[in-house]
Copies of this chain bind each other. A is one copy, B any other.
Amino acid sequence: MLDYPSLSAVAAVVREGSFERAASALGITPSAVSQRVRGLEERVGAVLVVRGQPCTATDLGRTLCAHLDRVRLLEHDLPTLGGALGPAEGRLTLPVAVNADSLATWFPAAAAAFGREGEAALDLALDDEAHTAARLRSGEVLAAVTAEREPVPGCRTVPLGALRYAACAASDFITRHFPTGVTPEALRRAPFLRFDRRDFLQSRWAGTAHGVEPAGAVHWVPSTHGFLDMTLAGLAWGMHPVAMAQPHLDAGRLVELPPGQRVEVPLYWTVARLHASLLSRLTKAVRAAAARVLVPPA
């Protein structure tokens, strides 16, 4: 069997970023941490931790840490062990990838509901959709909220519903760029926002609603709230989750571009097939919070 105390030391170094902090988290000395890490590295015959500022895991180190997460998740369901584990050792952290627009809208309620029911913690990574499937496959994350449905071996995928987007701009932006209304030509030339290279929502909306491809200045803003703040500040128009834009539309700080057509983006919860009560609890919290904000799946 694997030497789990040593593997826990590896995981703590990676989580905390240094041998010193890992030592204080585990309540042992830094030299004990270093001995355990080196011992395991010698036995598996490979480097597991890249010593740096911060310390990071090698590929094999990451795979072993992911395995440790799963073992601890399963251990958590063995009722007799509850008391036998120390508090720091006993606390579980679930690594989860979340797409930015979910984190900005309905996900915090899910995290809070989950966190309120027990000691387990969440380690959220902002979803880079291009890498989520790979991170699920390697076990680096145990679950993910994504906007792209991608079957991942060893995982099941649950449709969560769709996030609805509205095309919005600040009223002074409308005055400057659409003085005679949102005509196709004015829309083609107006500055607009893109989240990243994979964000075609603006161009999709302009195509469907007005039959044009936007060709104005593109400001790239890879943050959901940054996107909204830039629009509020009058820099450009963009597509915003209605859940975030509505208060600003109501207060007149934002104006929805006619014809007020909205775009729906379906979201999915992909979660490791692992019979562990904590994961089921998280899935339940995620589905409940999503149901309160998203348009129900067809």
- A positions within 8 Å CB-CB of B: 16-17, 24-25, 54, 88, 91, 93, 100, 103-104, 107-109, 111-112, 115-116, 119-126, 191, 197-198, 213, 215, 217-226, 229-230, 232-236
Contact = CB atoms under 8 A, between A and B. Distances in A.
A235 B126 contact: no
Given A198-B54, A219-B122, A115 B236 contact: yes
Number of copies: 2
Given A88-B215, A91-B217, A108 B198 contact: no
A118 to B, nearest CB: 9
Given A100-B223, A126-B222, A217-B119, A230 B54 contact: no
Nearest to A116: B234
A215 B88 CA distance: 8
A197 B109 CA distance: 24
A74 B200 CA distance: 31
7 contacts: A17-B198, A108-B235, A115-B217, A121-B217, A123-B219, A124-B221, A224-B225
A197 B108 contact: no
- The majority secondary structure among interface residues of chain A is mixed
Contacts of A91: 217
B222 A125 contact: yes
A226 B124 contact: yes
A233 B224 CA distance: 18
Contact of A112 (B224, B225, B230): B230
A292 B224 CA distance: 23
B218 A124 contact: no
B54 A112 contact: no
A104 B226 contact: yes
A121 B219 contact: yes
Given A115-B191, A115-B235, A115-B236, A108 B218 contact: no
B197 A112 contact: no
A145 to B, nearest CB: 12
A99 to B, nearest CB: 11
